[in-house]
Chains A and B, each alone.
Chain A
Amino acid sequence: MAQEEYQKYYVPEQSVWPIVGAVALFLIAVGAGNLTIDITNGNEGYGQWVLLAGIVTLIVMVTGWFRNQIHESMSGLYSDQLGRSYRQGMAWFIFSEVMFFAAFFGALFYARTIAIPWLGGASNNAMTNEVLWPGFEAVWPLLQTPGGIESTQMGWFGLPLVNTMLLLTSSVTCHYAHVGLEQNKRKQLSWMLGLTILLGCVFLGLQVEEYIHAYDIGLTLDSGMYGNTFFLLTGFHGMHVTLGTVILIVLWFRVQKGHFTPDNHFAFQAGSWYWHFVDVVWVMLFFFVYIL
């Protein structure tokens, strides 16, 4: 590495936002915790207000921190080295997200290949089946649990297939938005990014539709392992798509204000990486939750 790259060490000024963010997370945790406890016990509590205060604080924090960051970036304070740090940081953050989903996919695979067959008497568990869960048949999707809860299968052909197409298309449009940015075709950038956002929103709308449908046909969060993995995997994915869409919307407004240049656009790159990541997770979901 050449000496010149280090000429502009940049250590940022003190900032009030991290401590605001810490308070925000504290309020969210206390609020969400108390809300959960109160809902379960059927009590009226103050949890939702603390949670709300936490979320508002978090939004203020993110807005303030990013505004500060954008301002510093636009005034040319940042070095290439810092840009690399940001990119690497984002890449590792996405890796941590991958591992978060891996926990839930792991639960799905374990239930399908080990837990449920064993309950059905596989391996050396004949007596488990005979004595504890007589009559239980191990099949996937698990439409009747050992405890006797019934649910219905969610097919892959209708909305899920459409949603897959939507997200895959959005990945392509997101890529062409990036290409537009790199070749300084601002119009292409703006349109393609807008289209990506639109596809993301339609996807989220259809997901809501699908959840309503699922509850109509009797597939719910508490209907055993099939419902658990279905809702937790698609639910966390949906939350990530929501976050990704918000990121892309912010990027779109920044594009309208003339931010980003062909060789300086970390925020855009991070947002697009994130979007591709949620797409890949969806493809995994489509195969392992819906089709197989």
Chain B
Amino acid sequence: MSTATETAHHGEHDDHHHHAPAGLKRWLLTTNHKDIGTLYLWFSFIMFLTGGAMAMVIRAELFQPGLQIVDPNFFNQMTTVHGLIMVFGAVMPAFTGLANWLIPMMIGAPDMALPRMNNWSFWILPFAFLILLSSLFMEGGGPAFGWTFYAPLSTTYSSDSTALFVFSVHIMGISSIMGAINVIVTIWNMRAPGMTWMKMPMFVWTWLITAFLLIAVMPVLAGVVTMVLTDKYFGTSFFNAAGGGDPVMFQHIFWFFGHPEVYIMILPAFGIISHIIPTFARKPLFGYASMVYATASIALLSFIVWAHHMFTTGMPVAAEMFFMFATMLISVPTGVKVFNWVATMWRGSMTFEIPMLFAIAFVVLFTIGGLSGLMLAITPVDFQYHDTYFVVAHFHYVLVTGAVFSIMAAAYYWLPKWTGVMYDNTLAKWHFWASLVSVNVLFFPMHFVGLAGMPRRIPDYALQFADFNKWISIGGFAFGLSQLIFLALLIKACRKQGEPATSQVWDGAEGLEWEIPSPAPYHTFDTPPLIK
């Protein structure tokens, strides 16, 4: 690819654009995709540490059997808000931040298609989480019903502050929908000439499909929280059998949102990994077209598998069979991806820089999470695993060593492009190895305690689980502390301490974003580059 620049007329607003406005106003009023991307990424990291602190409370309580540190109601609030923050505050905004930074640079666009709405969709997020977090300090406490807020826990038995939870989720939803509309319109309409669909970088493809999923399911989440609100406060009985409703209906509507949601949190990760592995294997991605089709298939299948979260609710056998086989079907396109990544590495001239280490860890550990998912998909087996720590192990493998590792890989990979300096390699190595070891000490034993029958979301447990839980907690604290290394590294990089980066940064890196200087100029493409 090469860029042909041609001076063009921009209208009278040129002057405002060629230098970044300074101070607080820059961040509050910005319409710049890079500024907004940075805001999203820092917000997500702060939320990651906040949600992580809650996980530390959980692990401290579970360090020993018996009730030690917090009361059970507060423990439940911690598990609930930990989940909500990590899903809606850490992982999703991190991907949106990456989309903001990268998509315009990758497709040769000057900015996102709707820059002001872009700013709005970011700035409502901190407010949403302010509301959610402040509800923890209200009388009766915050949400304590699990991030899935199953009725009747969230209706009949929830604390007074549930209305605030509902409205904060509404705002998170509005933010995601606007962000997704922006991404989809940018990709559809702002590609540089020559950037045909099948030339689009994988990250752009995966985000296009993710954005579609977001627009399709976030409104369903808004619908279901609204029903929770009216059931709790206004006398409706959507989830109450006495009025002709059904608590299981809550689960159906919730998981109709919830299952595509988990792919929302992993498809962009697939995109990231599909960039990093070819770079450091110095080979083009194996099976690009099959990657695109696999992503689309996963997205479509995600709409017909939701009830695999509900095998034990007493569905008719035919429904259980349908959802079991549909779920297993997803492992086919996912397998295609894993094999493609491995085939990309096959006989490549591999080097193991930090992004590549995270990417390889992703492939291995995400596959473990995928395989335990396949075990959970088998209905009769799931009857045993349901609501045990096996499930907790499964989704932390796909979300922490999957989604979060991919975000870290992306941060290391593109950080030199964003800041103009190479990150501190010593700190980075410490961060990677400490995270890799501790995350497995943290989550791997959960498989065993889960298979042995330890239920999730409890502040106390039977004595025979004590040893494993001690190690899980130690792993948890270590993983938490390791992230402070990452914080130090990020602060260093953002203060531009480090060797200056070249524009290509990595030997094997290909794509439009590597052809512009590092750090990327405030406005990237004033005129469209020509993609050949």
Report which A residues bind B (CB closer than 8 A).
1-3, 6-19, 21-23, 25-26, 28-30, 32-34, 36-37, 39-41, 65, 77, 81-82, 84-86, 88-89, 92-93, 95-100, 102-104, 106-107, 110-111, 114-116, 118-119, 123-124, 132-133, 142, 145-147, 149, 221-222, 224-228, 232
Whether a CB of chain A sits under 8 angstroms from the CB of B31 is yes
Q: Smallest CB–CB gap between A106 and chain B, Å?
A: 6
CA distance A14 to B16 in the complex (A): 9
Contact between chains at B235 and A222 (CB < 8 Å): yes
A111-B246 contact given A13-B16, A88-B185, CB 8 Å threshold: yes
Contact between chains at A119 and B230 (CB < 8 Å): no
Q: Smallest CB–CB gap between A5 and chain B, Å?
A: 8
CA distance A228 to B117 in the complex (A): 34
Contact between chains at B8 and A9 (CB < 8 Å): yes
Which residues of chain B from 189 to 237 have any CB-CB distance to chain A below 8 Å in the complex? Answer: 189-193, 215-220, 222-224, 226-227, 229-230, 232-237
A84: which of B120, B189, B229, B236 is its contact (CB, 8 Å)?
A: B189
Whether a CB of chain A sits under 8 angstroms from the CB of B163 is yes
Whether a CB of chain A sits under 8 angstroms from the CB of B171 is yes
Query: Which residues of A have CB within 8 Å of B8?
Result: 6-9
Query: Which residues of B have CB within 8 Å of A82?
Result: 113
Contact between chains at B236 and A116 (CB < 8 Å): no
Whether a CB of chain A sits under 8 angstroms from the CB of B174 is yes
A-B contacts besides A14-B29, A29-B131, A224-B245, 5 pairs, CB < 8 Å: A3-B530, A6-B527, A92-B185, A103-B253, A147-B243
Spot the interface stretch: B122-130, B334-342, B361-369: B122-130
Q: Smallest CB–CB gap between B392 and chain A, Å?
A: 28
A37: which of B160, B191, B237, B256 is its contact (CB, 8 Å)?
A: B160
Contact between chains at B526 and A9 (CB < 8 Å): yes
CA distance A34 to B219 in the complex (A): 23
Query: Which residues of A have CB within 8 Å of B496?
Result: none
* A-B contact list, 7 entries, CB within 8 Å: A21-B124, A85-B113, A85-B186, A89-B113, A89-B117, A97-B219, A115-B241
A14-B245 contact given A19-B119, A29-B127, A88-B188, CB 8 Å threshold: no
Contact between chains at A9 and B233 (CB < 8 Å): no
Residue with the greatest number of chain A CB neighbours at <10 A, chosen from B161, B163, B192, B252: B163
Question: Chain B: interface residue count, which band?
Answer: 35 or more
Q: Smallest CB–CB gap between A221 and chain B, Å?
A: 6
A146: which of B163, B236, B241 is its contact (CB, 8 Å)?
A: B241
CA distance A118 to B110 in the complex (A): 56
Q: Chain A contact residues: over half helix, strand or loop, or mixed?
A: helix
Contact between chains at A18 and B238 (CB < 8 Å): no
A103-B220 contact given A14-B16, A142-B244, CB 8 Å threshold: yes
CA distance A102 to B113 in the complex (A): 28
Q: Smallest CB–CB gap between B303 and chain A, Å?
A: 11
A29: which of B170, B215, B256 is its contact (CB, 8 Å)?
A: B170
Contact between chains at B219 and A99 (CB < 8 Å): yes
Contact between chains at B224 and A103 (CB < 8 Å): yes
Whether a CB of chain A sits under 8 angstroms from the CB of B279 is no
Contact between chains at A222 and B234 (CB < 8 Å): yes
> Closest residue of chain A to B316, judged by CB?
A123
Whether a CB of chain A sits under 8 angstroms from the CB of B144 is no
A96-B11 contact given A18-B117, A107-B227, CB 8 Å threshold: no
Query: Which residues of B have CB within 8 Å of A228?
Result: 230, 236-238, 243, 245
Query: Which residues of A have CB within 8 Å of B181?
Result: 89, 92-93, 96
